[in-house]
Amino acid sequence: MNSAIPRFYEMPLDRRLKTVQEFSGLDDNEIALLKQECALDNSIAEIMIENVIGTTHLPVGIATYFLINDKDYLIPMAIEEPSVVAAASHAAKLARLSGGFKAKSTTPVMTGQVQIKNVHDFDIAEETILKSIDSIKALANKQDSTLVKRGGGLVSAECRKLETERGDMLVVHLNIDVRDAMGANAVNTMCESVAPYLEELTGGIASMKIISNLAAQRLVTAEAVWKKNELGEELIEGILDAYAFAKADPYRAATNNKGIMNGIDAVLIAAGNDFRAVESGAHSYACMSGRYQPLAHYRKNENGDLVGRIELPMAVGIVGGATKTNPIARIALKILGVRSANELGEISACAGLANNFAAVRAIVKEGIQHGHMKLHAKNIAIIAGAQGDKVHQLAERMIREKMVSVSRAEELLKEMGH
């Protein structure tokens, strides 16, 4: 049997499962697990994506102690990696001592790009487009009266001349206020509807019409202060050295920013958001200077306390996408009590900053493995085949021995007669 399976998408779920079983040799228990429904019913999953055979699960933990703009939050985080929830909570607990996080956002403006080829005179094309902005606006806004009613819609257009390996191109940016949506569908629809008119105005040929995930006009900033008397001067100096290291070295900055995205993605996955969109925006924003940089910045204030500040694009939504179809996302948004997409973005940025601070603090202070060890050891025990109480016993023993590895876990399991 090969993977060329015509009309797989039209098969009922049971037949799809049978086909996958025949292909891969899954046993009946494994098929039963795939069929087992969770909060997200298979019937809803089938509306969300194609070729569904089941749903997957992630733990959802609650990060505590977050005080953001003087409001208390319990933050649901969906993630498979140990220590992220604990680290975020710990950083928030320490930040709370100096008033918690302060966060703010710009207007939620996303950018759509229309690529126009074969333009003879770029200056005239630009002038014509900018002169016709009212008609462009009317055309775009006609596509989404719901958005316009809520105060959103096209706000401006910009023209960029791009020199590429296949010749010069005109790229028109349509800047669209998407209010509480992530905005990709809204932006793409508007770009497509405006493109024929842009062709008319420029005499060129509109090719790609698509959102940019470098949402450089939709930014969130968040700041927190960690007190000198809590951290100690030595640790603060260590964190500042770590920041300097990340600024000077993309190898370090990559891992630093991964730690930030641990927090941000976990919030966004719980809230049913497109975390890949935020990831690509974050990493491209980290390169805006031409060199890959850390997304969070550290300095000492006049009292010698550590001030952390994060700034990044935040294309998130509390309407649209999977925010309503996935019941867990609905519940996560209710736990957060968010009233706007901006508020969700601010919370996510604070979680990112908290995780960054906690990870760097741990690496500088005691090494990252120290805090990871408990859950990591349990995970290793399960990989080695431990079940029930043995998972805990085995993990404890490996931690005592300071030897956490699958091979050691297997040896110990044998000794324990498992």
The least CB distance from residue 273 to ligand NAD, in Å, is 8
177 is an interface residue for ligand NAD by CB under 6 A: no
Can you tell me the distance from the alpha carbon of 177 to that of 215, in angstroms, rounded to the nearest whole number?
11
The interface mask with ligand NAD, positions 256-275, x = CB under 6 A, is: ------------------x-
According to CB under 6 A, which one of 180, 305, 343, 410 is a site residue for ligand NAD? 180
CB of 320 to ligand NAD, least distance (A): 2
Element (DSSP H or E) covering residue 399 = helix 389-401
- Judged by beta carbon, residue 185 or residue 284, the one nearer ligand NAD is 185
- Tell me if 373 sits within 8 A of 363, measured CB to CB: no
Which residue stretch of 28-36, 226-234, 313-321, 388-396 sits at the interface with ligand NAD (rule: CB under 6 A)?
A: 313-321
> Shortest approach of ligand NAD to residue 281 CB, angstroms?
9
Q: Running DSSP on this structure, what letter comes out for residue 303?
A: T
Range 196-215, binding ligand NAD (CB under 6 A): 211, 213
* Least distance in angstroms from the C-beta of 74 to ligand NAD: 23
Minimum CB distance to ligand NAD smaller for 184 or for 224: 184
Q: Which of 77, 174, 184, 349 binds ligand NAD (CB under 6 A)?
A: 184
Nearer to ligand NAD, 125 or 181 (CB): 181
Which is closer to ligand NAD, CB of 185 or CB of 393?
185
The Cα–Cα gap between 331 and 272 comes to 10
Single-letter residue type at 74:
L
Judged by CB under 6 A, the residue of 277, 295, 338, 398 near ligand NAD is: 277
- Subset of 99-158 contacting ligand NAD (CB under 6 A): 144, 146-147, 150, 152
Q: Among residues 4 and 49, whose Cβ is nearest to ligand NAD?
A: 49
**Distance between CA 223 and CA 307 in Å, rounded?**
7
Which single residue is written with the structure tokens 């590895």? 405
Binding ligand NAD by CB under 6 A: which of 186, 261, 268, 349?
Answer: 186
Per-position x/- string for 316-335, each x denoting binding to ligand NAD as judged by CB under 6 A, each - no binding: -x-xxx--------------
Calpha distance 174→154 (Å, rounded)? 7
* Residue closest to 268 by CA, chosen among 38, 76, 84: 76
Q: Which helix (H) or strand (E) holds 219?
A: strand 219-226
Residue 8 exposed, middle or buried by CB count within 10 Å (0-12, 13-18, 19+): middle
Nearest approach, Cβ of residue 278 and ligand NAD (Å): 9
Rg of the Cα atoms in the chain: 25
- The SS3 of residue 227 is coil
* Interface characters, 212-241, with ligand NAD (x: CB under 6 A): -x----------------------------
Rounded to a whole number of angstroms, the minimum distance from the CB of residue 198 to ligand NAD is 20
- What minimum distance in Å lies between the beta carbon of 120 and ligand NAD? 31
Integer Cα distance of 77 and 92 in angstroms = 14
Say how many residues touch ligand NAD, by CB under 6 A: 23
Contact between residue 209 and residue 133 where contact means Cβ atoms under 8 Å apart: no
Cα→Cα distances 172→113, 126, 176, 248, 281, Å: 6, 9, 13, 34, 19
Nearest distance in Å: CB 113, ligand NAD: 11
The contacts of residue 121 (CB under 8 Å, 6+ apart) are none
Q: Residue 367 gets which letter from DSSP?
A: -
Give strand pairing partners of 173.
113, 158
Instruction: Name 32's Cβ contacts closer than 8 Å, sequence gap at least 6.
Output: none
Q: Which two three-digit tokens encode residue 287?
A: 């390169």
Between 276 and 370, name the residue whose CB sits nearer to ligand NAD: 276
Q: Which residues are catalytic?
A: 81, 258, 274, 372
Instruction: Indicate the residue among 211 and 413 with the shorter CB distance to ligand NAD.
Output: 211
Q: State which residue, 192 or 311, has the beta carbon closest to ligand NAD.
A: 192
Phi, psi of 169 (to 5 degrees): -135, 150
List residues bridging with 103 in a β-sheet.
222
40 lies in the binding site for ligand NAD (CB under 6 A): no
179 near ligand NAD, judged by CB under 6 A = yes
Closest-approach residue to ligand NAD (CB): 320
Measured CA to CA, the distance from residue 378 to residue 365 in angstroms comes to 24
Please give the residue ranges that form the binding site for ligand NAD (CB under 6 A).
Answer: 144, 146-147, 150, 152, 178-186, 188, 211, 213, 274, 277, 317, 319-321
